[in-house]
């Protein structure tokens, strides 16, 4: 039996208040059956889907309603059975308006008759697994929503020797992965096995922050005597769950600048993604629901829930008792990297790991003042950048200088902005610089 | 649709509690023990000088920011810190106008001519001290020092050391506590300054690197040339300089290796000036010189960025 408890981590990082207790200790909840769902044709990173249903169509639960475009794209599935109300542009949590299929549920949840379990892992080869993952619409559930079948398809020139599951969940407030690992440890482990087979490697790791000792225990138990998998206990520190930081903590390797995890010999998946792979293989069902944490000091009954994709944020908030006071900010995701919403009338998408409602007081951020060069941003940067200079150059539109001091290596974790005593929007300035650099590179080509 | 009035801003949505003002306030808390010793050793006029410097610094900052039509930021406490540090670098017999001119110079010239908070390339209080020392040496040097036990001016320990007058050298205990020592208002008590410095390190406001490496460098240098390291470490402005001046954010490097190089440089220059220079004391000029070298040091001590490595570290796998 292998249960290695290495106490490992990365350089830099911060210790924000975690505020996970209020939802970690509440039992996992299950969302009510929705009346309607809004399914944007962009539930993932990559090309948008084309809707293949029209107003008035009857659809089954799990039926494909959006056809992927290109390799880096996955299909969209109906998360209820019922009637298509409308196909039109709707607000998307990323701030855009995106073509979406709105379905009114008939309440029966009649499953698409073509859906069948895939059978055993032994019966499937790597290509069959990847095809299954694509057809099930599986994307990275940590929040990046990168299509998983692309990750599992390692380019022939790269040599990958292990799959790492990310169970760090370093974002404050969120406990969705924690609940998932506690409730379905065997699915997580099974998903890892499937991913290992798809990638063709003999070694799998699961990295979990040490503030989730119960989850580590559950996973170790689920692995049992299988020597091919190990659970690593990671130091609780933000951004421990950032892909590069996790890889370095677990393997000691670094992802080369501009490279992918595969360049470090690794494929990284979120624990939720792995559990979904196992679920889809066992049932044949696509990804149509996920765990998310609805929390924050403006939420009456914060908790982690299983919610279908396409349910409005407002409906989830209502299922958690609604808001206690006027929320100043509603964030999709965690407080460090989540996206602030201008309306709660947007749907839960595959990236929605959390809905955070915070009061005006909590949301208030003081105006930026002069940089005092305290160097704290340099100390906390997990990539060893110098955020203070990147931000200075960015504010003066000196994009070449930003590029010269490695702006493109920024992982946008926000640790610099968090720690800055002068409240300077460091990571925002760096993001602007990155966008400009990319735009100029395109122009150059 | 709903009527919520939501703020939309870029992440992160939470921030650490500390602020520029809280950092500056902590520096002032850290300076309180030395201030108490100053009041005890030098009497009320020492405290009055501190008050004059604080008022002059804050007023200068407010006036300049008003004139430049910039937001007035005196509530960030940084001018107060500069005022206290400048006063700590004055001898107790300094007249009030020296304190005022020094404060105006520190804030107006050194700080705001270069862009205000965080932009000064040298430490304002030290630059003002150097300016005063050059302009009114009579008011700024040993003739102006009066210790508690005496009403006659006496030489500082380092001046005694320089003159080879070891017979009148104070005891190590006196040097450490600063009780019977003469010198600038804030520099006499190594103990009080050490307490304040350790408080700042404990609070995470300064890193241990600059002060500790600075002090150790001075100690090792003294040992190598056969002098008493204890005298060199506990006397003069070393404790004040190492913990409160060399660690000035604006004028010291932000990189780890840069801070080490900076501290070693400060230590070497301090000892070279003390032993071979014209002045008995070298801390302020050592720090000022290293301040000027800071941008250069930073350029050569940038840390290796993650993933941008020597090819060796890459995985062969």
CB contact, 8 Å: B18 with chain A?
yes
CB contact, 8 Å: B122 with chain A?
no
User: What pLDDT is stored for residue B292 in this prediction?
Assistant: 96
Q: Identify which of B82, B80, B70 has the alpha carbon closest to the alpha carbon of residue B106.
A: B82
Summarize chain A as % helix, strand, coil (round to 5): 30, 20, 45
User: What pLDDT is stored for residue B142 in this prediction?
Assistant: 57
For A111, the 3-state DSSP assignment is strand
> What's the complex ipTM?
0.89
Residue B270 near residue B233, CB atoms below 8 Å: no
Confidence of residue B145 (pLDDT cuts 50, 70, 90): low
Q: What Å distances lie between residue A339 and A56, A69, A96, B47, CA to CA?
A: 33, 25, 12, 52
CB contact, 8 Å: B7 with chain A?
yes
Contacts of B2 in chain A (CB under 8 A): 314, 343-345
User: What pLDDT is stored for residue B309 in this prediction?
Assistant: 67
Q: Is A428–B10 a contact, with Cβ atoms under 8 angstroms apart?
A: yes
Alpha helices in A61-166 (DSSP H): 126-135, 148-152
State which residues of chain A have pLDDT below 70.
Answer: 1-7, 445
Residue A402 near residue A33, CB atoms below 8 Å: no
Confidence of residue B264 (pLDDT cuts 50, 70, 90): very high
From the list B1, B14, B315, which residue is nearest A418 (CB)?
A: B14
d(CA A395, CA A381): 19
Residue B306 near residue A410, CB atoms below 8 Å: no
Report the gap between the CA of B52 and the closest CA in chain A (Å).
Answer: 25
Task: Please write the tens of the pLDDT for every residue from B13-32.
Answer: 999 999 999 999 999 999 99
Report the gap between the CA of A306 and the closest CA in chain B (Å).
Answer: 24
Residue B16 near residue A418, CB atoms below 8 Å: yes
d(CA A145, CA A348): 13
User: What pLDDT is stored for residue A144 in this prediction?
Assistant: 86
Q: Is B4–A344 a contact, with Cβ atoms under 8 angstroms apart?
A: yes
d(CA A335, CA A318): 20
Phi, psi of A64 (to 5 degrees): -70, 125
Find the residue in A nearest to B13 (Cα). A335
* A–B CB contacts, 8 A cutoff, strictly below: 179
Which percentage of chain B shows pLDDT scores above 90? 68
Phi, psi of A95 (to 5 degrees): 105, -15
Q: Is A374–B249 a contact, with Cβ atoms under 8 angstroms apart?
A: yes
Residue A273 near residue A140, CB atoms below 8 Å: yes
Of B195 and B3, more confident? B195
d(CA A47, CA A70): 7
Q: Is B12–A431 a contact, with Cβ atoms under 8 angstroms apart?
A: no
- Selected for mutation to probe chain A from B306, B311, B313 (highest A CB count within 10 Å) is B306
Task: Please write the tens of the pLDDT for every residue from B167-196.
Answer: 777 777 877 887 777 788 998 899 999 999
Confidence of residue B310 (pLDDT cuts 50, 70, 90): low
CB contact, 8 Å: B8 with chain A?
yes
Q: Name A281's Cβ contacts closer than 8 Å, sequence gap at least 6.
A: A117, A118, A119, A121, A124, A129, A132, A190, A194
Report the gap between the CA of A114 and the closest CA in chain B (Å).
Answer: 37
d(CA A409, CA A267): 19
Find the residue in B nearest to A251 (Cα). B315
Q: Name A345's Cβ contacts closer than 8 Å, sequence gap at least 6.
A: A91, A312, A313, A314, B1, B2
Is beta strand A97-105 parallel, antiparallel or unpaired with respect to A36-40? antiparallel
Among B residues 235-294, those touching chain A with beta carbons less than 8 Å apart: 249-250, 253-255
Q: Across residues B253-264, what is the average pLDDT? A: 96
Ramachandran category for residue A331: left, alpha or beta (phi over 0 → left; psi -120 to 50 → alpha): beta
Find the residue in A nearest to B71 (Cα). A369
Q: Is A372–B309 a contact, with Cβ atoms under 8 angstroms apart?
A: no
Q: What Å distances lie between residue A99 and A66, A147, A268, A308, B104, CA to CA?
A: 10, 19, 30, 19, 63
User: What pLDDT is stored for residue B314 in this prediction?
Assistant: 41
Task: Please write the tens of the pLDDT for every residue from B215-252.
Answer: 999 999 999 999 889 989 988 789 999 999 999 999 99
User: What pLDDT is stored for residue A372 in this prediction?
Assistant: 95
Q: Identify which of B275, B267, B183 has the alpha carbon closest to the alpha carbon of residue B233.
A: B267
d(CA B9, CA B65): 29
Residue A87 near residue A53, CB atoms below 8 Å: yes
Q: Name A369's Cβ contacts closer than 8 Å, sequence gap at least 6.
A: A422, A423, A424, B20, B73, B76, B117
Cα of A181 vs its chain's centroid, Å: 15
Q: Name A176's Cβ contacts closer than 8 Å, sequence gap at least 6.
A: A169, A272, A290, A291, A292, A293, A304, A353, A354
d(CA B161, CA B184): 17
CB burial of A149-168 (b: ≥16 within 10 Å; e: otherwise) equals: bbbbbbeeebebbbbbbbbb
Q: Is B304–A384 a contact, with Cβ atoms under 8 angstroms apart?
A: yes
Q: Is B305–A418 a contact, with Cβ atoms under 8 angstroms apart?
A: no
Residue A221 near residue A189, CB atoms below 8 Å: no
- Selected for mutation to probe chain B from A418, A421, A427 (highest B CB count within 10 Å) is A421
Contacts of A418 in chain B (CB under 8 A): 12, 14-16
User: What pLDDT is stored for residue A422 in this prediction?
Assistant: 95
Q: Over 70: is that where the pLDDT of B143 sits?
A: no
From the list B6, B13, B255, which residue is nearest A338 (CB)?
A: B13
Find the residue in A nearest to B306 (Cα). A383
Query: What global pTM score does this model have?
Result: 0.91
Q: Is A427–B12 a contact, with Cβ atoms under 8 angstroms apart?
A: yes
User: What pLDDT is stored for residue B149 in this prediction?
Assistant: 47
Q: Across residues B122-142, what is the average pLDDT? A: 89
Q: What Å distances lie between residue A288 and A120, A318, B65, B82, CA to CA?
A: 22, 20, 58, 61
Contacts of B15 in chain A (CB under 8 A): 365-366, 417-418, 420, 423
d(CA B259, CA B8): 39
- Counting Cβ atoms within 10 Å, is residue B278 exposed (0-12), middle (13-18) or buried (19+)? exposed
Q: Identify which of A73, A54, A56 has the alpha carbon closest to the alpha carbon of residue A65.
A: A54
CB atoms within 10 A of CB B40: 14
d(CA B147, CA A255): 62
Residue B27 near residue B200, CB atoms below 8 Å: yes
The H or E element containing residue A59 is: strand A58-59
Average pLDDT for chain B: 88
CB contact, 8 Å: B78 with chain A?
yes
Q: Identify which of A335, A297, A428 has the alpha carbon closest to the alpha carbon of residue B15.
A: A335
Task: Please write the tens of the pLDDT for every residue from B30-72.
Answer: 999 999 999 998 889 999 999 999 999 999 999 999 999 999 9
User: What pLDDT is stored for residue B146 in this prediction?
Assistant: 54
């Amino acid at each position: 039996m292998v249960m290695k408890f290495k106490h490992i981590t990365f350089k830099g990082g911060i210790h924000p208040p975690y505020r996970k207790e209020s939802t970690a200790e509440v039992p996992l909840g299950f969302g009510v059956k929705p009346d309607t769902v809004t399914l944007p044709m962009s539930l993932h990173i990559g090309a948008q889907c084309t809707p293949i249903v029209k107003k008035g169509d009857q659809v089954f639960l799990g039926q494909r309603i959006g056809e992927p475009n290109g390799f880096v794209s996955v299909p969209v599935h109906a998360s209820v059975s019922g009637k298509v109300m409308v196909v039109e542009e709707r607000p998307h949590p990323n701030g855009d308006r995106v073509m979406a299929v709105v379905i009114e549920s008939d309440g029966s949840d009649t499953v698409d008759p073509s859906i069948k379990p895939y059978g055993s892992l032994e019966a499937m080869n790597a290509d069959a697994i990847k095809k299954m993952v694509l057809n099930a619409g599986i994307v990275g559930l940590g929040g990046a929503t990168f299509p998983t079948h692309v990750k599992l398809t390692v380019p022939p020139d790269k040599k990958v020797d292990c799959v790492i599951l990310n169970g760090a969940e370093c974002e404050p407030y969120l406990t969705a992965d924690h609940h998932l690992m506690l409730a379905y440890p065997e699915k997580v482990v099974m998903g890892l096995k499937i991913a290992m087979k798809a990638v063709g490697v003999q070694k799998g790791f699961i990295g979990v922050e040490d503030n989730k000792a119960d989850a580590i225990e559950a996973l170790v138990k689920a692995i049992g005597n299988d020597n091919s998998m190990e659970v690593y206990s990671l130091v609780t520190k933000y951004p421990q769950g950032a892909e590069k930081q996790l890889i370095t903590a677990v393997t000691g390797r670094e992802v080369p600048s501009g490279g992918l995890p595969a360049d470090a010999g690794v494929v990284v998946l979120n624990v939720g993604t792995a559990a979904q792979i196992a679920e889809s293989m066992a049932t044949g069902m696509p990804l149509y629901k996920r765990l998310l944490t609805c929390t924050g000091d403006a939420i009456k009954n914060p908790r982690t829930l299983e919610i279908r994709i396409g349910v409005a944020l407002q409906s989830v908030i209502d299922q958690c008792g609604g808001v206690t006071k006027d929320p100043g900010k509603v964030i999709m995701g965690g407080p460090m990297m989540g996206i602030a919403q201008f309306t709660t009338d947007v749907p839960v998408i595959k990236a929605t790991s959390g809905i955070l409602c915070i009061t005006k007081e909590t949301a208030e951020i003081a105006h930026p003042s002069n940089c005092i060069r305290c160097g704290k941003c340099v100390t906390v940067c997990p990539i060893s950048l110098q955020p203070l200079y990147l931000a200075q150059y960015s504010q003066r539109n000196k994009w070449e200088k930003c590029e010269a001091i490695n702006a493109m290596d920024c992982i946008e974790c926000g640790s610099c902005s968090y720690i800055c005593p002068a409240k300077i929007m460091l990571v925002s300035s760096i993001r602007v610089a990155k966008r400009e650099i990319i735009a100029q590179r395109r122009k150059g080509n | 649709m709903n009527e919520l009035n939501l703020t939309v801003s870029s992440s992160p949505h939470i921030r650490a509690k500390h602020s520029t003002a809280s950092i500056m306030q902590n520096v002032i808390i850290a300076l309180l023990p030395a201030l108490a010793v100053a009041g005890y050793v030098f009497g009320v006029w020492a405290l009055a000088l501190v008050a004059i410097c604080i008022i002059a610094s804050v007023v200068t900052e407010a006036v300049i920011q008003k004139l430049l039509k910039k937001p007035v930021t005196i509530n960030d406490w940084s001018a107060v810190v500069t005022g206290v540090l400048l006063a700590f670098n004055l001898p107790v017999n300094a007249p009030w106008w020296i304190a005022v001119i020094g404060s105006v110079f520190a804030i107006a010239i050194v700080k705001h001519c270069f862009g205000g908070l965080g932009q000064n390339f040298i430490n304002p209080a030290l630059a003002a001290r150097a300016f005063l020392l050059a302009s009114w040496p009579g008011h700024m040097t040993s003739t102006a020092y009066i210790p508690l036990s005496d009403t006659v001016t006496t030489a500082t320990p380092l001046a005694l050391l320089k003159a080879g007058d070891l017979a009148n050298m104070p005891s190590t205990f006196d040097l450490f506590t600063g009780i019977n020592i003469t010198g600038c208002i804030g520099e006499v008590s190594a103990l009080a300054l050490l307490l304040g410095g350790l408080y700042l390190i404990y609070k995470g406001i300064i890193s241990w690197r600059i002060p500790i490496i600075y002090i150790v460098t001075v100690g090792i240098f003294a040992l190598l040339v056969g002098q008493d390291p204890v005298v060199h470490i506990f006397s003069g402005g070393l404790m004040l300089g190492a913990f409160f001046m060399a660690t000035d954010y604006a004028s010291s490097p932000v990189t780890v290796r840069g801070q080490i190089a900076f501290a070693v440089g400060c230590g070497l220059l301090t000892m070279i000036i003390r032993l071979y220079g014209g002045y008995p004391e070298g801390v302020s000029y050592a720090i000022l010189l290293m301040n000027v070298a800071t941008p250069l040091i930073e350029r050569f001590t940038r840390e290796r960025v993650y993933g941008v490595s020597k090819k060796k570290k890459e995985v062969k796998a």
